């Protein structure tokens, strides 16, 4: 496996800021908790303001530290949360497969916000369809989601934070893509040096829908 | 309360009717009183005359009506408990009802599926728990208690000394109920303590269930009958001896909105006496929910002895579950007793008795000293309660006058903390919610009856009460003036119901009474203040209030907070601007806070600046939820006492005090560690353990004058391009 979680503290090659966006209640906090702490709590309180977690990964021979920012989803908070967009190398936009409106809002609202406030033109964007464990309650198909992602030049992944489906994969895929984008790494290295990577050959991950 | 029918352990899925007659009396804080779970919840069942009195009134209160036979055969063996249930008034309960406690206990043990219960066992249990039980009869009674308890299928331990715990039970199910308590405990040295024997009120049919031992934390355990109308639950926990039993006991009596019969008279006379004013707490429901939860758990575990009650703290927050019984000595001891009772019944009596005697007779000196200290604390507490009650007057009516006349004294008292039993009442009055409520009678109900909350599924919609006929004028006026929030807002509120204090027993049940009340308050607020609608964070404000008051009171208190109607300084405004579009108030607060921090803790401020940790990153919810999102409840309550009286400046003071206090520990940290330490989850670790210490520190920080200056500064900045002072916060590159 190319990606190995939790490398030793010693040396970090890159520190990458990742941002979680999406409507209230789509599962951003749960995704983060699953990814960073590998657990899931049904009883999670709404995120007020912003939350934050750090996770270290080894991707090929690079040690990467992710700082993942989990923002409040409610519209009223946007004036506040947009200040967090700055410097984000990876943007994960989350929708809930049981609520089609949350996918719509990605297009109508979140993408627009991102264009306005994002500072990294090349930031890697990923659409994540969360809560695929809902079964019959599902209202957005895989095709709709992946078409949407393709249209907007985003990676796409279907996940379930609850049942731990593909959560880590989604983050890893995002990281791989960021590492393949040299312009994003210019100021991300804690230690300078060459940041050129041997690009991993495509085909990593099952959810590779990048059309950037 | 009557039928002896068999009932299931399964809580009725329709949450509407569960109520608790009993209350728990968590120590100093406990206070709650029963109230209808839902505004519209009408007891459908006509109650047999006597049992309506479930209550616990101060021992001194003597209802005049004679005891009526309890309709429930299960209650036949009259135990003190039974006496308590029926309004037995006389200090000396009738003979048949005053059998020795032990006898009562034994009888109870004999009658297994009996419903009633609990008072005796609880009283008995309470004594040992307290260490107050006299060696003789009390000890015996205590020893017998477990069986009785078990037989009854309920573990109800009355807060030993805390009479307070008893609330008039479910008023919903038992409309005129008033809880009266007859002195039950008969321990030699306890006879005079009213609290010792306060019987939890009782329950209807109990299902047999062994309750593992209530832990030091309040644990509730109860059964709920299946028939909605008749369900009631009782729960009590055995907390350490609470300081103010007597006073609390007085508080604990509740008023019911629709008293009937003789109960009504007594109730109404009590209610008109300011001495008996009690805030409406919701811990009663909390207890019921708790017990439901436990039932579920017990079921899941197949009723094996390993079933473990969920433990909550005195505010209903679920505590981490212990993996085994190794919590602590005291607990283990009590568990032993329970276990013995469950397996061997009467055979287990002797050893337990011995242990009890040991404990009582060889009470170490240290313990006696501690008891003396406790008694002193009780007296002080009682004195505080008296002062507060006097200051509040009936229903809090006198407070405004007092505040005007003695502002300094008022402030001093508030800063010392409102006695918990009076907290709901005091908050309502202090914040100005009471005035708003009185000047807008019926408006809350009218708002809730606004049409078009189509988005809300049926179960949610029945939370809003239908306005009484008399209020129809108000309703139509409201309908003309206000409109129902959009479906979006409604959904948004509903989505957060499960995410507001999800670890509190009162709010954790989906569509349970807590969530319904929360929904109604937030929904009505959104209708009342369309400019605000619903913003995440408001739910936490409402939820805290709902732990102390009914939905309507919580609604008006929330409005008072939003508009700053209380005694808040004019220039601070209300909380509303924290929630309007763009959240200008919040941004201003964060700016002010950042600047103040530079003055109060310059080194830490410099460190935070250097690391790029701006208040946006950690303090948003401090203001947005008035600390409800992060502070441990005991701290939070004290903060709110002062916050409701003095306004938002308290939030600045507290925030600054927290950082100042933790400065040493924060100074060495880097960006990520700083954020982690300041996160909502970790912040409690930075606090002084004693809430009083936090408040004392906070009150030493002067902010009022600077807040005004900084606001002007911020407004000017805003004209030049808002947010200049905030650069760098979220802008940190990683």
Average pLDDT, consecutive stretches of 10 residues, N- to C-terminus, chain B (734 residues): 38 35 34 36 34 34 37 35 36 39 42 34 36 34 37 34 34 33 35 34 37 37 35 35 36 35 42 36 45 52 51 84 43 36 50 72 75 92 93 86 92 93 93 92 90 48 48 74 89 92 90 92 94 94 96 95 79 84 91 96 95 93 95 96 92 96 94 93 94 95 92 86 44 36
What residues contact A34, with CB distance under 8 A and at least 6 apart? A40, A161, A164, A167
Q: Which tokens sit at B598?
A: 């530079």
How high is the pLDDT of residue B172? Answer: 32
- Residue B161, number of CB atoms within 10 A of its CB: 33
Q: What share of chain B is helix, strand, coil (3-state, %, to 5)?
A: 55, 0, 45
Residue with tokens 């409840």: B633
- Residue B68, number of CB atoms within 10 A of its CB: 16
Nearest to B624 among A42, A43, A48 (CB): A48
Distances (CA, A) of B520 to B285, B446, B461, B542: 17, 11, 9, 10
CB contact under 8 A, B733 and A17: yes
Q: How far is CA A21 from the centre of its chain?
A: 8
CA atoms within 13 A on the CB side of B412: 6
Select from A94, A208, A100 the least CA-distant residue to A156: A208
DSSP B241-286: PPTTHHHHHHHT----SS--HHHHHHHHHHHHSGGG------HHHH
Residues B148 and B108: beta-carbon distance below 8 Å: yes
CA atoms within 13 A on the CB side of B698: 28
Lowest mean pLDDT among A82-91, A138-147, B289-298, B655-664: B289-298
B617: closest chain A residue by CA: A50
How high is the pLDDT of residue B201? Answer: 34
What part of B 629-648 touches A (C-beta under 8 Å)?
Answer: 629
Q: Which of B494, B535, B536 to mutate to test the interface with A (most CBs of A within 10 A)?
A: B536
How high is the pLDDT of residue B21? Answer: 35
Residues B565 and A104: beta-carbon distance below 8 Å: no
Select from B679, B687, B682, B680 the least CA-distant residue to B663: B687
Residues B528 and B559: beta-carbon distance below 8 Å: yes
How high is the pLDDT of residue B155? Answer: 33
Q: What value does the mean pLDDT of chain A take?
A: 84
Q: Which residues of B touch A29 (CB under 8 A)?
A: none
d(CA B93, CA B81) in angstroms, rounded, equals: 11
B531: closest chain A residue by CA: A76
Q: Which residues of A touch B501 (CB under 8 A)?
A: 45
How high is the pLDDT of residue B121? Answer: 37
Nearest to B734 among A17, A43, A83 (CB): A17
Distances (CA, A) of B494 to A46, A201, B59, B539: 12, 46, 43, 10
d(CA B159, CA B71) in angstroms, rounded, equals: 27
How high is the pLDDT of residue B477? Answer: 79
Interface A–B counts its CB contacts (< 8 A) at 102
Residues A150 and A208: beta-carbon distance below 8 Å: no
Phi (first) and psi of residue B254, to 5 degrees = -115, 165
CB contact under 8 A, B621 and A46: no
B679 touches chain A (CB under 8 A): yes
A16: closest chain B residue by CA: B734
How high is the pLDDT of residue A70? Answer: 94
How high is the pLDDT of residue B679? Answer: 93
What residues contact B407, with CB distance under 8 A and at least 6 apart? none
Residues B291 and B505: beta-carbon distance below 8 Å: no
Its ipTM equals 0.85
CB contact under 8 A, A76 and B583: yes
- Residue B565, number of CB atoms within 10 A of its CB: 17
Q: Which of A21, A24, A46, A113 to mutate to test the interface with B (most CBs of B within 10 A)?
A: A46
Q: Which residues of A touch B730 (CB under 8 A)?
A: 50, 69, 81, 83-86
- The residues that bridge with A90 in the sheet, in sequence order, are A18, A124
Instruction: Say whether pLDDT at A205 is over 70.
Output: no
Tell me the nearest-neighbour CA distance from A135 into chain B, angstroms. 19
A50: closest chain B residue by CA: B617
CB contact under 8 A, A49 and B672: no
Q: To which H or E segment does residue A96 belong?
A: strand A90-96
Nearest to B508 among A43, A49, A76 (CB): A43
Q: To which H or E segment does residue A71 belong?
A: strand A62-71
Nearest to A49 among B500, B581, B620 (CB): B620
What part of A 110-169 touches B (C-beta under 8 Å)?
Answer: none
Phi (first) and psi of residue B526, to 5 degrees = -65, -35
Select from B549, B539, B548, B544 the least CA-distant residue to B519: B539
What residues contact B343, with CB distance under 8 A and at least 6 apart? none
CB contact under 8 A, A48 and B726: no
How high is the pLDDT of residue B322? Answer: 52
Which region, left, alpha or beta, applies to residue B351 given φ > 0 means left and ψ of -120 to 50 means alpha? alpha
A54 touches chain B (CB under 8 A): yes
Q: Which residues of B touch A18 (CB under 8 A)?
A: none
């Amino acid at each position: 496996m190319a990606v190995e979680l939790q490398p030793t503290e010693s040396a970090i090659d890159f520190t990458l800021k990742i941002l979680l966006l999406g409507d209230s209640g789509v599962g951003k906090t749960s995704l983060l908790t699953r990814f960073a702490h590998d657990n899931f709590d049904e009883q999670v309180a709404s995120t007020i303001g912003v939350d934050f977690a750090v996770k270290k990964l080894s991707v090929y021979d690079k040690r990467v530290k992710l700082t993942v920012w989990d923002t409040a989803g409610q519209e009223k908070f946007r004036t506040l949360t947009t200040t967090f967009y700055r410097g984000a190398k990876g943007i994960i936009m989350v929708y809930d497969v049981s609520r089609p409106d949350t996918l719509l809002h990605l297009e109508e609202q979140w993408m627009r916000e991102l264009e306005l406030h994002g500072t990294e033109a090349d930031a890697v964007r990923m659409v994540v369809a969360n809560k695929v464990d809902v079964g019959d309650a599902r209202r957005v198909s895989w095709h709709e989601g992946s078409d949407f992602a393709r249209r907007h030049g985003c990676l796409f992944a279907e996940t379930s934070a609850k049942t731990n489906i593909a959560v880590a994969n989604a983050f890893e895929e995002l990281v791989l893509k960021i590492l393949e984008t040299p312009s994003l790494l210019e100021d991300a290295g804690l230690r300078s040096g060459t940041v050129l990577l041997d690009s991993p050959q495509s085909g990593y991950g099952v959810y590779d829908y990048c059309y950037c | 309360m009557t039928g002896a029918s068999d009932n299931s352990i399964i809580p009725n899925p329709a949450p509407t009717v569960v109520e608790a007659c009993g209350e728990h009396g968590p120590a100093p804080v406990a206070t709650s009183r029963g109230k209808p779970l839902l505004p519209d919840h009408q007891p459908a069942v006509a109650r047999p005359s006597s049992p309506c009195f479930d209550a616990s009134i101060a021992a001194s209160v003597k209802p005049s009506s004679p005891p009526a036979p309890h309709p429930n055969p299960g209650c036949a063996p009259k135990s003190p408990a039974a006496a308590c249930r029926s309004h037995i008034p006389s200090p000396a309960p009738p003979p048949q009802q005053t059998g020795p406690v032990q006898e009562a206990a034994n009888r109870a043990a004999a009658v297994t599926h009996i419903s009633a219960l609990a008072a005796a066992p609880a009283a008995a249990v309470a004594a040992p728990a307290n260490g107050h039980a006299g060696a003789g009869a009390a000890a015996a009674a205590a020893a017998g208690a477990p069986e009785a308890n078990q037989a009854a299928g309920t573990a109800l331990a009355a807060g030993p000394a805390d009479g307070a715990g008893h609330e008039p039970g479910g008023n919903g199910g038992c409309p005129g109920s008033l809880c009266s308590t007859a002195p039950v405990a008969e321990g030699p040295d306890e006879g005079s303590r009213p609290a010792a024997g306060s019987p939890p009120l009782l329950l209807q049919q109990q299902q047999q269930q062994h309750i593992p031992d209530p832990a030091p934390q309040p644990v509730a355990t109860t059964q709920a009958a299946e028939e909605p109308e008749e369900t009631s639950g009782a729960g009590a926990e055995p907390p350490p001896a609470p300081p103010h039993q007597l006073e609390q006991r007085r508080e604990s009596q509740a008023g019911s909105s629709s008293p009937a019969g003789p109960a009504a008279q007594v109730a109404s006379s009590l209610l008109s006496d300011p001495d008996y004013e009690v805030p409406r707490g919701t811990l009663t429901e909390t207890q019921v929910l708790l017990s439901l939860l436990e039932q579920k758990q017990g079921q899941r575990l197949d009723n094996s002895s390993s079933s473990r009650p969920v433990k909550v703290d005195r505010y209903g927050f679920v505590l981490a579950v212990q993996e085994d019984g190794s919590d602590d000595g005291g607990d283990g001891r009590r568990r032993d007793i329970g276990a013995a009772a469950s397996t061997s019944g009467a055979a287990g009596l002797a050893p337990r008795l011995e242990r009890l005697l040991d404990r009582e007779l060889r009470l170490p000196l240290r313990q006696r000293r501690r008891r003396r200290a406790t008694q002193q604390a009780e007296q002080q507490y009682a004195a505080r309660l008296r002062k507060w009650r006097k200051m509040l007057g009936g229903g809090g009516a006198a407070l405004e006058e007092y505040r005007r006349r003695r502002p300094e004294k008022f402030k001093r008292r508030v800063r010392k903390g409102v006695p918990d039993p009076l907290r709901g009442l005091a908050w309502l009055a202090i914040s100005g919610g009471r005035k708003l409520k009185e000047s807008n009678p019926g408006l809350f109900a009218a708002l809730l009856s606004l049409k078009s909350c189509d988005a809300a599924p049926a179960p949610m919609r029945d939370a809003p009460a239908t306005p009484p006929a008399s209020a129809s004028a108000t309703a139509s006026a409201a309908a003309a003036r206000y409109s129902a929030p959009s479906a979006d807002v409604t959904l948004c509120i509903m989505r957060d119901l499960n995410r507001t204090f999800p670890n509190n027993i009162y709010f954790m049940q989906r569509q349970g009474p807590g969530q319904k009340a929360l929904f109604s308050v937030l929904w009505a607020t959104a209708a009342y203040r369309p400019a605000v609608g619903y913003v995440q964070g408001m739910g936490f404000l409402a939820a805290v209030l709902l732990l102390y008051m009914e939905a309507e009171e919580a609604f008006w208190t929330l409005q008072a907070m939003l508009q700053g109607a209380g005694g808040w300084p004019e220039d601070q405004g209300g909380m509303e601007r924290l929630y309007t579009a763009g959240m200008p108030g919040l941004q201003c607060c964060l700016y002010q806070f950042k600047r103040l921090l530079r003055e109060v803790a310059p080194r830490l401020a410099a460190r935070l600046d250097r690391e790029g940790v701006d208040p946006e990153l950690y303090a948003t919810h401090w203001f947005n939820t008035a600390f409800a999102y992060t502070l441990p409840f005991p701290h939070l309550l004290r903060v709110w006492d002062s916050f409701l009286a003095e306004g938002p400046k308290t939030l600045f003071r507290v925030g600054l005090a927290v950082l100042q206090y933790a400065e040493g520990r924060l100074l060495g940290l880097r960006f990520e560690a700083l954020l982690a330490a300041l996160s909502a989850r970790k912040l409690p670790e930075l606090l002084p353990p004693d809430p009083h210490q936090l408040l004392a520190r906070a009150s030493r920080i002067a902010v009022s004058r600077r807040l005004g200056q900084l606001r002007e500064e911020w407004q000017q900045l805003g004209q030049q391009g808002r947010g200049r002072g905030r650069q760098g916060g979220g802008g940190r590159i990683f």
